[in-house]
Structure 1
Amino acid sequence: MQGLGELEALVMDVLWRSSDALRVRDVIDGLDDDREPAYTTVMTVLDNLHRKDWVHRERVGRAYRYQAARSREEAAADALRSLLDSTGDPTGVLLHFARGTSDNESKILARGLRERGKKKKK
């Protein structure tokens, strides 16, 4: 995910897979790779993600519980928006992308545009 380091992205993946707020230990246990980073490393990563507004945290007893501040899909859409804004030619990028979509992806894009139109009319 754009704007995240390798471990930050792994931590976010754990949070996105969970519907519950997680403790640092829960996040460590949920990491898919073979390495087990130090507790303090993951705690620092979660603190950094909180400062970057990627996660919300709530103090429960002496520890925090962490939850993603937005869904994986919202974060991906935000990254795409940022990328488009940085290109200097968002129209060209969008047209190039649209020409390369599958039939199913084209249907999904069309549905999103229809829903957007309905939302604006309200």
Structure 2
Amino acid sequence: MSRKALGQLEAEVLAALAGRGGEAGTAELLPHLDADLAYTTVNTVLFRLYEKKLVTRVRAGRHYRYRLAVDESELVACRMRDHLRHASDPGGVLSRFVRTLSAAEERKLREILGGLDDPR
């Protein structure tokens, strides 16, 4: 993926947007973000995401409604790959990551790995 790396706040806003069904206005996203952020801050982040073509927008009165233009799981997977690629010990990073998974997440990971047809 050739896009610029996402900042933490951009990633949180994208996740909140995905959690709202992929479409929302700035005010609708505020209560779904971890930090106590100003409306203008979230609006600026959404505008930057729009400039990066990660969201689209449609005017709704005096404001905009934003919609995801990309698959959130692809974005997160790309960020994880970037982190692994830059780690001096990718195996150690993966090991620590797996140890932090919930039981449900671990079951899902095992299901995914068990379903791979890898001829290696």
TM-score normalised over the length of structure 2: 0.60
1:85 corresponds to which residue? Answer: 85
- Superposed, which structure 2 residues align to 1:40-51 within 5 Å? 40-51=40-51
| Alpha-carbon distance in structure 2 between the residues aligned to 1:79 and 1:50 | 19
1:70 aligns with 2:107: no
CA distance in 2 between partners of 1:112 and 1:57 (Å): 31
Q: Which runs of 5+ in 1 are unaligned?
A: none
Cα distance per residue 1:51-77 (max 9 Å; x no partner): 344x32132456432133323x44332
The Cα offsets for residues 101-120 of structure 1, whole Å up to 9 and x where unpaired, read as 77956543332123231xx7
SS of corresponding position for 2:24:
coil
Map of 1:116 onto structure 2 = 116
Do the aligned residues in 1 keep the contact of 2:13 with 2:33 (CA within 8 Å)? no
RMSD: 3.7
Return the alpha-carbon distance in structure 1 between the equivalents of residues 107 and 14 of structure 2.
29
Question: How many equivalent residue pairs?
Answer: 112
Identity of aligned residues (%): 26
Q: CA deviation at 1:25?
A: 2.7
| Structure showing the higher helix proportion among its residues | 1
Matched, 1:4 2:17: no
Larger Cα-atom Rg: 1
